Amino acid sequence: MKLQDKVEFVTGVASGMGKAIAELYATEGAKVIVADLNIEGAEAVVEGIESNGGAAKAVQVNVASLTEIENMIDKAVKEYGTLDILVNNAGIMDGFEPVGEINDDRWDLIFDVNTKGVMRAMRKAIPIFQEKGTIINIASTGGLNGAHAGAAYGASKHAVIGLTKNTGYMYANEGIRCNAIAPGGVKTNIAQSMSNVSQFGMDRTKAVQGVMPRLGESEEVAKVALFLASDDASFVNGTVVVADGGWTAAF
């Protein structure tokens, strides 16, 4: 049990990587608060965890809302008394628009969910951590490279990586670790958040997508998240772990 009695909060849990992370953490002994805008999906994850003997609670949250983010973490602390691990997984895609096509509304929404929501959750969690705490941000290979999505998504994930590195360094002496995972293509439903896709943007990224060795499974990313949350990663801080099957090793 690598996370025995740890209290963990993960966003975007109704499906995909968030669901896999919550389930794996629970099997390793963590008490899990699962948060998603889709409360029915979050509750289904809780039911699955509890049926396997784990402990979990579901909360509904829109990570673009400051009030809801702060309330969700307050609920976690009220339920279990503290918070040990924060996983910022919730995110949405753009429509592969290059900067010449992006509009302000889309840009603002992408950043509210993918970046500002991450910052706000981290800001709320930092004072709660008592001498030791772990933050894991789900970034993207799109946060390291320029041709894995559109301008807004890529910029939002680059910002998450910068925020991760800054936080890891700033709070290293406080016993708080902050790392990011940059998954490549993974079988999730994030494409459902796409609309009004730019044909120009999609065409420009085809060559890059074409050299992807394979799509990953959510469970493979969850195993990386388990490592980063556990004491096995006690000396890993302020960095990005790429989990893409070797995709970005090509360029």
- Active-site residue numbers? 153
Radius of gyration (Cα) for the chain, nearest Å?
17
Quote helix, strand, coil % in the chain, to nearest 5: 50, 15, 35
Buried b (16+ CB within 10 A) or exposed e, 40-66: ebbbbbbeebeeeebbbbbbebbbbee
Phi-psi region of 238 (alpha: psi -120 to 50; beta: other; left: phi over 0): left
d(CA 103, CA 72): 30
- In three-state secondary structure terms, 51 is helix
Phi, psi angle pair for 175, to nearest 5°: 80, 15
Locus of tokens 């009004």: 196
